[in-house]
Homo-oligomer: A and B are copies of this chain.
Amino acid sequence: MNIGAAAKLSGVSAKMIRYYEEIGLVPPADRTTSGYRDYSTPDVHQLRFIRRARDLGFSVAEIATLLGLWRDRTRQSADVKRIAREHVADLEGRIAKLQDMVDTLKTLADTCHGDERPECPIIRRLEGESVAPEVR
């Protein structure tokens, strides 16, 4: 099948399929005599695997490892589990950072009048003035 059909079936855009091939995440696709990329059902499965891993936030580098483990019938589930756990730790670190921002901003926004007056704890905080004493 053509790249468009493979894209539709796998959920990976044609653009990204070509990109994954270019960076070596997937092997070069077969070509028809006219130069079109030609995909088989297993190819589509592999693309779908990649798509699902991306949806779970795995980086391309991590996916390369996961694909290797997928293809390796003698793989140890411990290896897969370790990658997943490391990835979870990474995600949780990012969540914690974002949550800190949210907490700070919510606190500031809660003490901001939000009316026509210019006085604003959010701006004051960005200016560098401590807003803590405002805690009433």
* Residues of A near any B CB (own CB < 8 A): 45, 48-49, 52-53, 55-57, 66, 69-70, 72-78, 80-82, 84-85, 87-88, 91-92, 94-95, 98-99, 101-102, 104-106, 108-109, 112-120, 122-123, 125-128
Residues of B within 8 A of A109 (CB): 81, 84-85, 88
Q: Check if B77 sits within 8 Å of A119, measured CB to CB.
A: yes
Interface of A is mostly: helix
CB distance from A2 to the nearest CB of B (A): 22
As for how many copies of this chain the complex holds, the number is: 2
Known contacts A102-B95, A109-B84: A128-B45 contact under CB 8 Å: yes
Residues of chain B with a CB closer than 8 A to A81's CB: 109, 112-114, 120, 122
